[in-house]
Amino acid sequence: MPTTFEALALLRAASTPAGFVASVNDVANYQRIWTRDGVITGLAALLSQDEELIGTFQATLRTIFAHQHPTGFFPSNVTPASGQASYGGNCGRVDNVSWAVIGLLQFARLAPDGAAFAEPYRPQVVRAFAVLDAWEFNGKHLVYVPQSGDWADEYVQHGYVLYDQLLRVWALELAAGFWPEGGGREWPAKAGAIRAVIGRNYWPDHEAGADPASLYSPNLIHQLQAAPTGFWLMGFNPARVYRQFDLAANALALLLKVGSPAQDAVLLHHLSQRLRAAEGLLPAFDPAIEAPEPLLAELTDNYAYTFRNHAHEFHNGGLWPVWNGWLVAALHQAQRPDLAAALAARLSAANQLNPADPAHWGFYENLHGQTQQPLGVPYCTWSAAGELLAQAYGRGQRLVI
């Protein structure tokens, strides 16, 4: 039976005065407060209604907002002992900007006295949206994401990546709801404009075709002809449309109700087929990139310390509990409790795996896409967060959409 005990215990162990660290393991980068990991863990803490953990989420928000860059973007991570902030390696993280705002405004709506805590940060939220506006580069409503510019920082995607656009929509709509006078008509109008662009450019329909006048760029007229169907596209750039299925993006699209009822029905059918074919969790990106796929050349040298993106590992077809937890939440939101329950059971089984210490849940960072064996760092807080989000949504609890 799924239980929250182990996940909550891990979050408590990962709590520091500065916020949630990424893992309780003493591994260099993981003993830091990460914007993305910390916010996702904090959202799970909010739904747990655990007072101590909600307090740690507040500390996490305080840390990342204290280190917002003057330009408006947020740190990749902050080292608690020194207070030193890192804003990324080769490039910064686009998704962190939206995750920070999402975390603050979910806290404002769901935590006791959250509104009072969030209010002083309004100028920083304005600055965050300003930098996202600047990163459009062309004023056409989509942020351009550099390679290594979001959570999958050793993967191949760059350009107009859907995952990052969806997070921006969520952040804008939360801000418009919390400060209806703060953005005037600007924030809801901007969110609506982004939704419209997403609907026209990320859902290929070969039967209906695409109106060239409505597409983001002329490149898409020919690129979309060979694009996969049945799910939301991972993204596109001047050179290509990506063919991989992006689990996080499609989960967010369902959660945020980006699609029409007809599109949701097609996506849910596609997801049900994927779940039926899989033995365990769904890969973050699928299919895995292998020879002779041309994208392999972009993948093999994109790593900081050691190469981890072998086929079916890490970002390259690996299984990530955190994004499967988000998919469980999205399936509940889409009123498919049957699919949600089946995936939630697989998620709990995956999080329990711990070859080093079978008596305790492992909460590994990811698992091998074929063998289902744990990979990466154990005791990761956002793997536990995926567990807690899945279970909370199964109980009927919801984040603010």
In CATH, 5-394 is 1.50.10.10: yes
pLDDT in tens, 215-232: 999 999 999 998 999 999
Buried residues in 235-262 as b, exposed as e (16+ CB within 10 A): bbbeebbbebbbbbbbbbbbbbebbeee
Backbone angles phi, psi at 160, to 5 degrees: -90, 80
Q: Enter the tokens of residue 152.
A: 């999958």
Residue 285 to residue 273: CA distance in whole angstroms: 16
- Identify whether the C-beta of residue 102 lies closer than 8 Å to the C-beta of residue 170: yes
- Digit-coded pLDDT (tens) for 78-123: 999 999 999 988 889 999 999 999 999 999 999 999 999 999 999 9
For tokens 């689990």, what's the residue? Answer: 247
The pLDDT of 179-199, averaged and rounded, is: 90
Q: Is the pLDDT of residue 45 over 50?
A: yes
Write down the pLDDT at residue 183.
67
How far is Cα of residue 3 from the mean position of the Cα atoms in its chain? 23
pLDDT of residue 181: 80
pLDDT of amino acid 1: 42
Q: What percent of the chain has pLDDT over 70?
A: 98
User: What mean pLDDT, rounded, does the chain reach?
Assistant: 95
pLDDT of 364 reads 98
What average pLDDT does this structure show over 56-63? 98
**Residue 209: predicted pLDDT:** 66
Q: Is the pTM of this model over 0.95?
A: yes
Q: How confident is the model at residue 185 (pLDDT cuts 50, 70, 90)?
A: confident
Percent of the chain whose pLDDT exceeds 90: 92
User: CA 388 to CA 399: how far, in whole Å?
Assistant: 12
Give 155-172 pLDDT, tens digit per residue. Answer: 999 999 999 999 999 999
CA distances from 286 to 71, 154, 234, 348, 362 (A): 35, 15, 10, 22, 24
The answer to whether 15 and 80 are in contact (CB under 8 A) is: no
> Distance (Å, rounded) from C-alpha 350 to C-alpha 365?
10
Q: How confident is the model at residue 352 (pLDDT cuts 50, 70, 90)?
A: very high
Residues 355 and 375: their CA atoms lie apart, in Å, by 10
Mean pLDDT, rounded, for 11-16: 98
- Give the mean model confidence (pLDDT) for residues 299-303: 94
